[in-house]
Structures are given as C-alpha cells and as structure tokens.
Amino acid sequence: LPVVAIVGRPNVGKSTLVNRVLGRREAVVQDEPGVTRDRVSYPAEWNGVPFMVIDTGGWEIDARGIARHVAQQAEVAVEMADVIVFVVDATVGATDADEDVVKLLRRSGKPVVLVANKVDDVHVEGEAAALWSMGLGQPFAVSALHGKGSGDLLDEILANFPEDPHSEAGRVVGGPRRVALLGRPNVGKSSLLNRLAGSERVVVDNVAGTTRDPVDEYIELGGRTWMFVDTAGIRRRVHQTRGVDFYASLRTQSALEKAEVAVVLIDAGEEIAEQDIRVVQQVIDSGRALVIAYNKWDLTDEERRHFLEREIERELVQVPWAPRVNISASTGRHVEKLVPALETALESWDARIPTGKLNAFLGEIVAANPHPVRSGKQPRILFATQASTRPPKFVVFASGFLEHSYRRFLERQLRERFGFEGSPIEISVRVRE
C-alpha cells in the first residue's frame, strides 16, 4: 500500500489531521511530550483507495530540542513514505525549524504536500497563502479540527501516489521478489546484507518494471533477482538514544508494507528477547511470508544450542511453520540456504488450493473429527473456498458457530495436508442458518 507520512512541529495539529484523514477519533493521541505511542501506522482509505498513514510524531523530544525532533521525523518520512504531508500552523507561519526541514524534504525528491493548518476562518487564509514562499508548491488551507479542506487535501495526496508498484497486479511476472531483513539492532542485518550483496550486485537500471528507489537494493541470488527493501536504514546505523523501540517498529512496519517476505534475524548466541517475538508478531500481523534466521551460529556452543531449542519451543510457538536457517553472516555459514527457504515461503504465500480439492479434504477430516456437540447442537461444515492468496485466506461456511479450538484444529489439518510452510494462513467462518 502507498505510505503517507505526516511531519511537523508539535502542536501544529498533526494528530488532529491524522484523525481527520482516518475519519475517526480514537486512533491517535494529541502531541504530548513524553508519550510514546505503540501504534505507528494506520490503515486509511479515500475514494476507495486504501493507503497507510504513518505518524512520525511518537517519540519524545530530547534535549536537542524541537528542531532536531522535526528533522528526525522528516528523515524517517523521506526514507519510508511515498508521499510526505508537511504541516505548518498557518496562525504562526513558517519557523526556522520548518525552513531547515523544507531543504531536507526538497532534496529527497519525494512528493511533498504542504498543509497550512488551523485555517478555521477567512482571515487566516492570507496567512496560508503566504506559505507559497516555502517553495513547496501550493499550500493546502485546512482546518483539521473542523474538517475544512480535508477532501481537497486527500485528493492531492492520492494524486501523488506512485503507480502501484507494490500491488499484486503491478508485479512483473518473473521480476524481483521483495524481501525485508528484520531484527533488533546488532543482530547482524547489515552483515548479512553485505554478505549477500557480495555474491552479485545488480545494476538497478537493468531491472525491468521496477521503481528505482535508492533505499532498495537488488541482489542476484540463486539465479534470480531479489529486491531487499528499505536497506538504507540497515546500512546507515541510526544513532539514537530515545524512542529507539518506536523508531525500530516504525521501520519494520514500513519495510513490511513494501515486502512480500521477511527474514527475521535472531541472535542465536543470546536469549530470545521480547523484541524478537514482537518483530515476528509484526510479520504475522502484516500477512507476509516469514523465514527465521538464527544468526551468529559461530558463537554458539553445544550448551547454548540446547537452551536455544528450549527457548524456541517456549517463545515462538505461534510460528512452527516458519522455515528456519542457522547461519553466520560473518563466516558465511549456511547463508546460501536462505534462498531455498525464501522460495518455499513465497511459494506457500502464493499458493491456491482448488475448491474441489479443498472440500474433498475437509469432508474427510470433518467426518473423522466432527465438531463437538454443545448444548444439543452440532454445527456442520457446509463448504469452504480459498478467498485469496498472498497470504492464503479461506472462508468456511458452517451451519453454526465454530469453537476457537476447532478452528485451530482445521488450521493445523490444512497445514498438515497442504503445507503452507513459511506463510501465515487465515480461516474465517461464516454462519449460514
């Protein structure tokens, strides 16, 4: 999905604008120093076009002050967004901090939509027009609070979306597949990327049908070209003491938006951490395919490997289906096994089970293991179909409500029969009376 980032100084009305764009009020809290939000991106829609809004204002303002704070937001936005919305308080005008950010935004070459907010009544309109001088084109006069001008603004945002490079339809058959390298800091993402790129780097101009985003890197592996998304953030170490978690999860979210499959790196030499589990969960929630790479295998001894297996059983129970590779980015051990794992995961992600085959199979397992009878009733499974791929989603029609444990049973059976190694799958049940 196209990604829209909202940037601006505190109190210019970013949160109100985000809520306005989302069309609801619960989502985003007001700018409050010290409040770190756990959600960083929100699904939105305008005129039937879905997109993501990322809210870059979630980390604390540190000692270096507001100018630095806004610059950080802008850097993140430049790296991650397809369209940047830069919000200025029209009643205050452009400040020095704003001017610095403008330079950064202009250099980025990304489309920027300038919003003059708080134009609640006519005598602020002149103020809004004065923002032409910022050199970002037409300022959109908006009152986020009252909703004025937000329709025109959304039209303008949509007009700047790229031509659907990440959609299913937009994917070139046989073209590069998109991979996100994820994991907490120091797990070895950058080392792995270097190791992989060492194999063969592809000149970007030679890749047909791709958008040339300098933050992505094309690498040839196992006879095909792979696109590693958002690599700028991996290569350029971000030195930041505050809001690190927030920043990290924002980056993960944005990379997942662009990717088809994620490699989550976990440090085999250290205990599995809360943050590792969170990243894995983010991949599942995003519906992307997943491979888990245990890195720094060279640092493990027999005892550590023993404990690692116990930790995996305990902490990563939700992803027994993810292909696993034990690698060392620094020695190169088993790094070549990543490619077949990625191929497997993507194959599962793309898979479609024909309706006839699916129902024949369901018939068998339901006959052998019928749903338990509850208060004298037994729901029957009538029919199932795969509604979509990438990832596979199934709809099961039943004559009554299916218990959670039975749905889990169906999922396990589906996986046992059809595999889906490396892909999340989804089963929804519709009750037909």
Instruction: Tell me: is residue 8 an annotated ligand-binding position.
Output: yes
Q: Burial level of 376, CB count in 10 A (0-12/13-18/19+)?
A: exposed
Which residue number, 22 or 273, has a Cβ lying nearer to ligand GDP? Answer: 273
Footprint on this chain of ligand GDP (rule: CB under 6 A): 183, 185-191, 234, 295-296, 298-299, 328-330
Q: Is 389 exposed, middle or buried (0-12, 13-18, 19+ CB in 10 A)?
A: middle
Task: Tell me whether the omega of the peptide bond preceding residue 320 falls within 30 degrees of 0, making it cis.
Answer: no
On whether 328 is known to bind a ligand per the annotation, the reply is no
Would you state the structure tokens that stand for residue 379, as one six-digit string? Answer: 């729901």
Torsion angle of the four alpha carbons 47, 48, 51, 56, in this order, in degrees rounded to the nearest 10: 40
CA 339 to each of CA 113, 256, 334: distance values in angstroms, whole numbers, following the listed order: 40, 19, 10
Min dist CB 274 to ligand GDP, Å, is: 17
Annotated binding-site residue? 130: no
57 marked ligand binding residue: yes
Task: Report the alpha-carbon distance of residue 41 to residue 4 in Å, rounded.
Answer: 9
Task: Give the whole-angstrom CA distance, residue 9 versus residue 67.
Answer: 8
Q: Which is nearer to ligand GDP, 44 or 264 (CB)?
A: 264
Our CB check for ligand GDP shows the closer of 188 and 323 to be: 188
Question: Quick one: which H or E segment has residue 52?
Answer: strand 49-55
Q: Is 129 marked within a binding site?
A: no
- Closest contact distance (angstroms) between CB of 312 and ligand GDP is 18
Smaller CB distance to ligand GDP: residue 135 or 185? 185
Decide if 166 contacts 258 (C-beta within 8 A).
Answer: yes
> Does the annotation list 98 as a binding residue?
no
* Smallest gap from residue 331 Cβ to ligand GDP (A): 7
Q: How far is the CB of 256 from ligand GDP (least distance, A)?
A: 16
Least distance from ligand GDP to the Cβ atom of residue 209, Å: 29
Is residue 55 a known part of a binding site? yes
Q: How far is the CB of 340 from ligand GDP (least distance, A)?
A: 19
- Residues near 266 by beta carbon (within 8 Å), at least 6 away in sequence: 183, 187, 272, 276, 292, 293, 294, 295
Consult the annotation and say whether 10 binds a ligand: yes
Nearest by Cα to 280 from 321, 314, 318: 318
Is 187 annotated to bind ligand? yes
User: Cβ closer to ligand GDP: 123 or 239?
Assistant: 239
The whole-angstrom separation of Cα 178 and Cα 324 is 19
Is 349 marked as a binding-site residue?
no
Q: List helix spans (H) across 147-240.
A: 150-159, 189-199, 232-235
**Least Å distance between CB 185 and ligand GDP?**
5
Q: Of the two residues 29 and 238, which places its CB atom closer to ligand GDP in the complex?
A: 238
Alpha-carbon distance of 290 to 288, in angstroms, equals 6
CB of 303 to ligand GDP, least distance (A): 17
d(CA 232, CA 388): 32
Closer Cβ to ligand GDP, 44 or 265, answer by number: 265
Q: For residue 75, what are the CA distances in angstroms to 68, 189, 244, 247, 252? A: 10, 20, 15, 11, 15
Q: Judge contact between 358 and 386, C-beta under 8 A.
A: yes
Instruction: Report angle CA 127, 129, 130 to the nearest 5 degrees.
Output: 65
CB of 244 to ligand GDP, least distance (A): 12
Pick 16 or 254: Cβ nearer ligand GDP = 254
- Residue closer to ligand GDP, measured from CB, 281 or 331: 331
Tell me: is residue 296 an annotated ligand-binding position: yes
Binding residues: 8-15, 55-59, 117-120, 183-190, 230-234, 295-298
Binding residues for GTP: 8-15, 55-59, 117-120, 183-190, 230-234, 295-298
